[in-house]
């Protein structure tokens, strides 16, 4: 551990270098050449991940139908077997006994009948009361309409469920002139839930003009579905809702509950993935089964004023109830921030975030997420820093860990809170604030946090940090993930991400955990109250050349109350 002399260099350089943000469209790419660009990925790949889920090659996007069946975890996902851009989509399939190491199987759903001949898009699994899983997924029919299809396992005694059969009744839900459903915006069935009235309900993402919709269907037998008179919920102005997820959370415990659980002990969560922005929002509210409507709590909204699972690059997520360990687990897709041609050269694009356990915070105001504990089985060599004061303007290098493949946990305590900068009331957007006040912009209480995937001379680094501001009646904590200096490759998207963190620095320490995996920095602030995932492509800070530092670029001292970092082992993935 040594005080980094490079810190001053980084700070001075940053005054002169541009922090321009190149926003890449995070949507599916449609380049026809890249849709069939499959090659053998090069042997040496500094950006390939070691413990995040990905197939050996090609494009992946949304997680589909995650579940546990007969003790085996299943993950299906949108996959292009032929190229490194979105296209030719099938449901690829892997299984695991620990959610960390994964075995690949053949795709289970691919175009084979009229109702999905032009594509097998996202969907979900529902576990029947008998224990049998069934899949509802979106198919694209010969008229390019989006319809919903049903599939069942062929052999229930096979815990790996490698073969599935499609219902001869497909499609089981379709747009028509009578039902006024928009045929090009009708997709991504959720996990269904069963009411005490013996009726199944499911929501499908849609829109009418600019109104985002969670269209509701009901069924007694899971085959014949009836469109409800009204959606479960809808909001004017935010466009197409993709991948809706609707589930209960316990109000007095961290334990997950089955998707059909109702009653006074639960609140409900509706998450929507906004096609327009490629961000996800969730609300917490109340589900009235008799009226079949969901009403978000007052102030809980699907917009930038509302809550997100992740304030970085994270999309098309889906939860499932893990009946083995009574927890709800969240999967989400981390898209690339590189240009499609770089994806073609490396032979793959897209990874899944580390599965996260998710529950309702004791305040009832938001969800909390934490990496599944199983991931800790990969922790190897551990390094700790002793408690100490980190003076303003200084950085410490943490040596002895594989900094490109690590799990880092740190806590800070700030004492001179009265010296915090005053929060301008117009600073309401945390991402904009993190863009304006990047890691190199000196403050008073902050920026302090981690420099990860840092090169020796700090020509490259990703900074994950906090700033504390004095708000009107309380202190406000800003969490940022600053990618603006993450790579010397200027073609990548280096947008900064930010979130406000609901932690009171007067009484609480500020904890931060970052999972670093070559081209992924997944950071959990305040024990998982705000989460930011980023994709970065260093050119110097790779493998053994990457460094980890703790830094304080504020004028005031902060205390490091605890810090541990682990080298992470490689998982056996596909
Ligand atoms: N991806 C799928 C769609 C979904 C979108 C297609 C979200 O079903 O709406 O690959 O990323």
Question: What atom in ligand 1 is closest to the CA of residue 122?
Answer: 8
Q: Could you identify the residue written with the tokens 């810190």?
A: 7
Per-residue pLDDT reduced to its tens digit, 351-392: 999 999 999 999 999 999 999 999 999 999 999 999 999 999
Closest CA relative to residue 570, chosen from 48, 3, 130, 211: 48
Per-residue pLDDT reduced to its tens digit, 160-199: 999 999 999 999 999 999 999 999 999 999 999 999 999 9
Do 322 and 243 form a contact (C-beta atoms < 8 A)? Answer: no
Query: Which of these is catalytic: 62, 188, 275, 343?
Result: 62
Residue 56 falls within a domain, yes or no? Answer: no
- pLDDT at 285 > cutoff 70: yes
Tokens of residue 488, six digits = 């010397």
Alpha carbon of 191 to ligand 1 centroid (Å): 16
Same domain, residue pair 325 and 426: no
Closest residue to atom 6 of ligand 1, CA basis: 121
Per-residue pLDDT reduced to its tens digit, 150-161: 999 999 999 999
Same domain, residue pair 279 and 418: no
The per-residue pLDDT of the chain, averaged, comes to 93
Residue 462 maps to which CATH number? 2.60.120.560
Q: What is the mean predicted confidence (pLDDT) over 74-92?
A: 97
Residue 17 falls within a domain, yes or no? Answer: yes
Residue 259 CB less than 6 A away from ligand 1: no
* pLDDT at residue 20, rounded to an integer: 26
* pLDDT at residue 21, rounded to an integer: 26
Question: What atom in ligand 1 is closest to the CA of residue 242?
Answer: 9
Question: What atom in ligand 1 is closest to the CA of residue 205?
Answer: 9
Confidence of residue 301 (pLDDT cuts 50, 70, 90): confident
Per-residue pLDDT reduced to its tens digit, 243-254: 999 999 999 999
Q: Rounded CA gap, 318 and 313, in Å?
A: 15
Residue 50 falls within a domain, yes or no? Answer: no
* pLDDT at residue 223, rounded to an integer: 98
Per-residue pLDDT reduced to its tens digit, 481-512: 999 999 999 999 999 999 999 999 999 999 99
For residue 312, the enclosing domain spans 6-27+75-371
Residue 526 falls within a domain, yes or no? Answer: yes
Question: What atom in ligand 1 is closest to the CA of residue 240?
Answer: 9
Tokens of residue 38, six digits = 């499959």
Alpha carbon of 242 to ligand 1 centroid (Å): 7
Q: Rounded CA gap, 518 and 88, in Å?
A: 28
Closest residue to atom 10 of ligand 1, CA basis: 121
Residue 243 CB less than 6 A away from ligand 1: yes
* pLDDT at residue 378, rounded to an integer: 98
Residue 238 CB less than 6 A away from ligand 1: no
* pLDDT at residue 30, rounded to an integer: 61
Alpha carbon of 368 to ligand 1 centroid (Å): 25
* pLDDT at residue 8, rounded to an integer: 37
Residue 243 falls within a domain, yes or no? Answer: yes
User: Which of 19-23, 325-329, 342-346 is the least confident region?
Assistant: 19-23
Alpha carbon of 454 to ligand 1 centroid (Å): 34
Alpha carbon of 62 to ligand 1 centroid (Å): 6
* pLDDT at residue 5, rounded to an integer: 40
Q: Rounded CA gap, 188 and 202, in Å?
A: 10
Residue 135 falls within a domain, yes or no? Answer: yes
Do 550 and 395 form a contact (C-beta atoms < 8 A)? Answer: yes
Question: What atom in ligand 1 is closest to the CA of residue 78?
Answer: 10
The residue out of 339, 371, 403 marking a domain boundary is 371
Alpha carbon of 468 to ligand 1 centroid (Å): 38
* CA 136 to chain centroid: 22
Residue 35 falls within a domain, yes or no? Answer: no
Q: What is the mean predicted confidence (pLDDT) over 265-276?
A: 97
Residue 260, classed as helix, strand or coil, is: coil
Confidence of residue 41 (pLDDT cuts 50, 70, 90): confident
Q: Per this entry, what is the length of the chain?
A: 574
Q: Rounded CA gap, 128 and 342, in Å?
A: 43
The residues that bridge with 184 in the sheet, in sequence order, are: none
- pLDDT at 33 > cutoff 90: no
Same domain, residue pair 502 and 400: yes
Tokens of residue 68, six digits = 């546990």
Q: Rounded CA gap, 13 and 21, in Å?
A: 17
Closest residue to atom 9 of ligand 1, CA basis: 242
* pLDDT at residue 28, rounded to an integer: 63
Judge whether 310 counts as a catalytic residue.
no
Same domain, residue pair 340 and 301: yes
Same domain, residue pair 236 and 171: yes
Q: Total structural domains in the chain?
A: 2
- pLDDT at 393 > cutoff 50: yes
Residue 404 CB less than 6 A away from ligand 1: no
Same domain, residue pair 113 and 261: yes
**For ligand 1, mutation pick of 59, 149, 188, 212 (most atoms within 8 Å of CB):** 188
Question: What atom in ligand 1 is closest to the CA of residue 243?
Answer: 9
Which residues, in sequence order, are CB contacts of 381 under 8 Å at separation 6+? Answer: 400, 401, 402, 566, 567
The residue out of 371, 388, 421 marking a domain boundary is 371
- Cα dihedral value 547, 552, 557, 559, nearest 10: -50
The residue out of 371, 404, 435 marking a domain boundary is 371
Alpha carbon of 533 to ligand 1 centroid (Å): 20
Phi/psi for 360 (5° steps) reads: -85, 130
Q: Rounded CA gap, 142 and 4, in Å?
A: 62
- pLDDT at 529 > cutoff 50: yes
Closest CA relative to residue 359, chosen from 435, 274, 492, 251: 251
Q: Rounded CA gap, 182 and 494, in Å?
A: 36
Same domain, residue pair 448 and 344: no
Do 115 and 148 form a contact (C-beta atoms < 8 A)? Answer: no
- pLDDT at 31 > cutoff 50: yes
Residue 116 CB less than 6 A away from ligand 1: no
Do 520 and 298 form a contact (C-beta atoms < 8 A)? Answer: no
Residue 124 CB less than 6 A away from ligand 1: no
- pLDDT at 104 > cutoff 90: yes
Q: Within 13 Å of residue 412, how many CA atoms lie on the same side as its CB?
A: 33
Alpha carbon of 162 to ligand 1 centroid (Å): 23
Question: What atom in ligand 1 is closest to the CA of residue 62?
Answer: 11
Alpha carbon of 136 to ligand 1 centroid (Å): 14
Tokens of residue 11, six digits = 């700070």
Same domain, residue pair 284 and 357: yes
Beta carbons within 10 angstroms of residue 51's beta carbon = 21
Confidence of residue 13 (pLDDT cuts 50, 70, 90): very low
Tokens of residue 254, six digits = 């961290």
Which H helix or E strand runs over 342? Answer: helix 340-346
DSSP characters over 347-406: TEE-EEPPPEEEEE-TTSSSEEEEE-GGGGGGEEEEEEE-SEEE-TTEEEE--SS-TTEE
Same domain, residue pair 218 and 326: yes
* pLDDT at residue 532, rounded to an integer: 98
Which H helix or E strand runs over 524? Answer: strand 520-525
Residue 95 maps to which CATH number? 2.115.10.20
Residue 196, classed as helix, strand or coil, is: coil
Residue 271, classed as helix, strand or coil, is: strand
Same domain, residue pair 309 and 407: no
* pLDDT at residue 10, rounded to an integer: 37
What would the 3-class secondary structure string for 28-88 be? CCCCCCHHHCCCCCCCCCCCCCCCCECCCCEEEEEEEEEEEECCEEEEEEEEECCCCCCCC
Residue 89 CB less than 6 A away from ligand 1: yes
Q: What is the mean predicted confidence (pLDDT) over 323-336?
A: 98
Alpha carbon of 122 to ligand 1 centroid (Å): 6
Q: Rounded CA gap, 282 and 268, in Å?
A: 10
Residue 203 falls within a domain, yes or no? Answer: yes
**DSSP single-letter state for residue 441:** S
348-349 and 58-69 strand pairing = parallel
- pLDDT at 16 > cutoff 90: no
Phi/psi for 342 (5° steps) reads: -65, -35
Q: Rounded CA gap, 145 and 118, in Å?
A: 9
**For ligand 1, mutation pick of 123, 203, 280, 316 (most atoms within 8 Å of CB):** 316
Residue 206 CB less than 6 A away from ligand 1: no
The residues that bridge with 283 in the sheet, in sequence order, are: 270
Residue 15, classed as helix, strand or coil, is: helix
Residue 62 CB less than 6 A away from ligand 1: yes
Closest CA relative to residue 366, chosen from 317, 310, 316: 310
Q: Could you identify the residue written with the tokens 């449609």?
A: 30
Tokens of residue 368, six digits = 């909390």
Same domain, residue pair 200 and 244: yes
Beta carbons within 10 angstroms of residue 268's beta carbon = 22
Residue 122 CB less than 6 A away from ligand 1: yes
Do 282 and 367 form a contact (C-beta atoms < 8 A)? Answer: yes
Same domain, residue pair 434 and 509: yes
Residue 29 CB less than 6 A away from ligand 1: no
Closest residue to atom 11 of ligand 1, CA basis: 316
């Amino acid at each position: 551990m040594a005080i980094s002399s490079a810190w001053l260099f980084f700070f001075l350089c940053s005054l002169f270098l541009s922090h321009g943000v190149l926003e890449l469209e995070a949507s599916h790419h449609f380049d026809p050449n890249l849709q069939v660009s499959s090659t053998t990925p090069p042997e040496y790949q500094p950006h390939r991940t070691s413990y995040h889920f990905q197939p050996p090659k090609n494009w992946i996007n949304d997680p589909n139908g995650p579940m546990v069946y007969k003790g085996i975890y299943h993950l299906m996902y949108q996959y292009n077997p032929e190229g490194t851009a979105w296209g030719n989509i099938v449901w690829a399939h892997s299984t695991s006994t620990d959610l960390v190491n994964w075995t690949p199987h053949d795709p289970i759903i691919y175009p084979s009948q009229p109702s999905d001949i032009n594509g097998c898009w996202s969907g979900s699994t529902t576990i029947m009361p008998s224990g049998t899983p069934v899949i509802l997924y979106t198919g694209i029919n010969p008229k390019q309409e989006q319809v919903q299809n049903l599939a069942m396992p062929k052999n229930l005694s096979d815990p790996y469920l490698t073969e599935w059969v499609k219902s001869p009744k497909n499609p089981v839900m379709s747009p028509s002139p009578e039902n006024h459903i928009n045929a090009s915006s009708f997709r991504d069935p959720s996990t269904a839930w069963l009411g005490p009235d013996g009726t199944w309900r499911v929501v499908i993402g849609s829109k009418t003009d600019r109104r985002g919709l969670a269209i509701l269907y009901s069924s007694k037998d899971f085959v014949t579905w009836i469109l409800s008179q009204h959606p479960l919920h809808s909001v004017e102005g935010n466009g197409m809702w993709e991948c809706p997820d609707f589930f209960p959370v316990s109000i007095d415990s961290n334990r997950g509950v089955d998707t059909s659980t109702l009653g006074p002990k639960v609140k409900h969560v509706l998450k929507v993935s906004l096609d327009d922005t490629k961000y996800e929002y969730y609300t917490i509210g109340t589900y009235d089964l008799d009226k079949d409507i969901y009403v978000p709590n007052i102030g809980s909204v699907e917009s930038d004023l509302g809550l997100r699972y992740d304030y970085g690059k994270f999309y098309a997520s889906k939860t499932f109830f893990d009946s083995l360990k009574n927890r709800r687990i969240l999967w989400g897709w981390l898209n690339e921030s590189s240009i499609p041609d770089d994806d073609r050269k490396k032979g793959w694009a897209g990874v899944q975030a580390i599965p996260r356990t998710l529950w309702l915070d004791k305040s009832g105001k938001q969800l909390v997420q934490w990496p599944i504990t199983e991931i800790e089985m990969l922790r190897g060599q551990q390094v700790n820093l002793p408690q100490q004061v980190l003076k303003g303007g200084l950085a410490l290098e943490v040596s002895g860990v594989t900094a490109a493949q690590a799990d880092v946990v740190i806590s800070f305590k700030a004492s001179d809170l009265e010296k915090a900068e005053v929060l301008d009331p117009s600073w309401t957007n945390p991402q904009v604030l993190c863009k304006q006040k990047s890691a190199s912009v000196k403050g008073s209480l902050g920026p302090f946090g981690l420099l990860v995937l840092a090169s020796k001379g700090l020509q490259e680094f990703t900074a994950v940090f906090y700033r504390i501001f004095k708000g009107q009646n309380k202190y406000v904590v800003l969490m940022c993930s600053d990618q603006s200096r993450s790579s010397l490759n200027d073609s990548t998207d280096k947008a900064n991400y930010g979130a406000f963190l609901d932690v009171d620095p007067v009484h609480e320490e500020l904890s931060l955990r970052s999972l670093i995996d070559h081209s992924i920095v997944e950071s959990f602030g305040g024990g998982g109250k705000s989460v930011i995932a980023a994709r970065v492509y260093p050119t110097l800070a790779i493998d053994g050349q990457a460094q980890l530092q703790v830094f304080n670029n504020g004028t005031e001292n902060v205390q490091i109350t605890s810090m541990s970092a682990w080298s992470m082992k490689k998982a056996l993935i596909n």
